[in-house]
Structure 1
């Protein structure tokens, strides 16, 4: 049995990833602030199972107990593969760093970087008893902004770069021995989500690269969440990546995409 714990399953890529794995018959646990029942109904239609745990990633002090709750709902003795997906993220505040408030920056960092750090730590520790019976994987949804600086995106670029380095550090800590937790950080490309709507609604002076993203949307070059999720699911499942890889989905030759 394949099991996936995904942050941010309310909408966008997180919901699409959950839906894709549910269609494969997996058990999916969503850590998200809200839930409308759609993924549960999809699970029933496909002989799968979806569990929702109400979770605000900004409340980093409660994340370990949220992961504990998620693991309690999973029959780990029946699992073959257990994957934690750091999907949720925020873009704001956008604009020059000097105009951002301390509280906005703290919230941004909590969701985009501190939450993955806390959840990764808890995941490794809490699943250690199953290291020889369950294949354990962590996937971070990164961004091209982790590797390319954008004016107006200091916080976003910095936290996404932090996710990439987290993958590399965990790879060094865990190594490649049997039972090690494998970590992949991967940028999925530009996806037509609410985040893109935020970008297009931003003032030009706050984000000078706005025109590029407006053009991508106008020319139909944005991936739909389902398209991006399909590519990610196939690549993650292919196991063709190495421990600690930091990749961009757009650079990979994917069959059937």
Structure 2
């Protein structure tokens, strides 16, 4: 298959879009969509979403009429998922050529404790609801809202992590959630051969989440390792990692359902 030069007349749904990697994805996607495209930007922070919307309206795509819908929502609630799906349906048109869902929203959970301390089912279920259940249900809702049809390309992306395939001491919630999300997408790829499915691990990003990792990790060696990466300038910028993600999408040669790490590309 020949590489793509752009994402087409796209409907892009990006969760966790208000800051960090999600915000960068939105800005980079805006550079490679055709006129008539639409973005649905999702986060809990409405103010940050609106500032991103203002930035995007000043881009070439924005000046060409890019539709931008901000959805301030808690994805841990069914009502939040429904609002996202409804917004996507409202901005899509019969001319939409490519539906892209980027599942970027997620949280670390309590990384200060070890596995044997998690005896409260309510706490664990709450974490999994926000980070796994909502991820699965939103993906399913978007796929139902935009079924396969001639002329429509569909791509779903899970922002994954090395933690999906490697255990990190004191990170049981995060590692379990990321591993579950990867498997959801592996199953989805097996079920839907016409769908493009990607688990992308962006590498160690210099974000607020990384700051939390090096200051709160219960495992002393892990905390030290993250601190050294930061002090030695080994963390990646969101822009660096997004370049690799865009390369994957444009070349479109990845195996559907695969886990692809920044360092694999």
Normalising by structure 1, report the TM-score.
Answer: 0.89
Deviation at 1:206, TM superposition (A): 4.5
Query: How far apart, in 2, do the equivalents of 1:147 and 1:4 lie?
Result: 27
Tell me which of 11, 14, 18 is aligned to 1:10. Answer: 18
Q: Where does residue 75 of structure 1 map in the other structure? A: 92
Query: How far apart, in 2, do the equivalents of 1:172 and 1:157 lie?
Result: 23
CA contact (8 A) 2:18 2:52 kept: no
1:32 aligns with 2:50: no
Alignment of 1:1-257 (within 5 A): 1-25=9-33, 26-35=37-46, 36=48, 37-46=50-59, 47-48=61-62, 49=66, 50-59=68-77, 61-94=78-111, 95-100=113-118, 101-128=120-147, 130-175=148-193, 180-202=194-216, 205-206=218-219, 208-252=221-265
Deviation at 1:76, TM superposition (A): 3.0
RMSD over aligned CA atoms reads 1.8
CA contact (8 A) 1:22 1:42 kept: no
CA contact (8 A) 1:53 1:66 kept: yes
Uncovered stretches (5+) of structure 1, i.e. residues with no partner: 253-257
Which range moves more in the overlay, 144-153 or 96-105?
A: 96-105
Query: How far apart, in 2, do the equivalents of 1:132 and 1:81 lie?
Result: 11
1:51 counterpart SS class = strand
CA contact (8 A) 1:167 1:246 kept: no
